[in-house]
């Protein structure tokens, strides 16, 4: 006898893309973008940091004050005055007394302006004040 062959009467239908999985991927992408955005430092402030061969890492929760070539002060991505900084420093130190300050000043900013900012930070109770620099480009080897 011949073996009987069964043929299915219904054909397989291609499954549609699972909308829930697709939305999950989109939402994770949006979440990543939103969480990444606050860590971009001063996107609109153009400064030329001085070069240094000796650089140290930046503390994660350090306060950053940016001083432009024109002497404009920026704190937390917004323009502030010298007196506003006093208030902001005291508020930040009240929350966490061990926070450090990084001064990112254009290389053409006067020494006196940096000293005034350091004095203000120390007066408010900051223990650590650092100057922001960029890594110096390696010197080109002289050709004989």
Residue range 65-79, pLDDT digits in tens: 889 888 889 987 789
Q: Which helix (H) or strand (E) holds 21?
A: helix 19-36
Q: What's the whole-model pTM score?
A: 0.59
Q: Residue 119: its pLDDT value, please?
A: 92
Q: What are phi and psi of 99, to 5 degrees?
A: -70, 145
Domain 42-135 has CATH 1.10.3720.10: no
In the block, tokens 């930046």 appear at 58
pLDDT of residue 42: 46
Residues 45 and 34: their CA atoms lie apart, in Å, by 21
pLDDT recorded at residue 143 = 47
- CA pair distance 133, 113, nearest whole angstrom: 16
Closest by CA to 124, choosing from 83, 82, 89, 84, is 89
Query: What residues of the chain score a pLDDT lower than 50?
Result: 42, 140-143
- For residue 131, the model assigns a pLDDT of 81
Sketch the domain layout of the chain as residue ranges: 42-135
What is the torsional sign of CA 135, 62, 105, 76? Answer: positive
- Enter the tokens of residue 33: 């973008």
């Amino acid at each position: 006898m011949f073996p009987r062959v069964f043929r299915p009467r219904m054909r397989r239908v291609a499954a549609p893309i699972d909308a829930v999985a697709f939305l999950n991927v989109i939402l994770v992408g949006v979440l990543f973008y939103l969480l990444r955005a606050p860590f971009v430092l001063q996107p609109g402030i153009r400064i030329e940091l001085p070069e240094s061969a000796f650089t140290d890492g930046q503390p994660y929760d350090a306060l950053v004050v940016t001083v432009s070539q024109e002497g404009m002060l920026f704190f937390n991505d917004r323009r502030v005055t010298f007196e506003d900084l006093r208030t902001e420093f005291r508020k930040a130190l009240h929350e966490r007394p061990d926070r450090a300050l990084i001064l990112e000043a254009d290389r053409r900013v006067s020494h006196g302006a940096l000293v005034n900012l350091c004095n203000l930070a120390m007066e408010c109770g900051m223990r650590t004040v650092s100057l922001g620099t960029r890594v110096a480009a390696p010197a080109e080897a002289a050709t004989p």
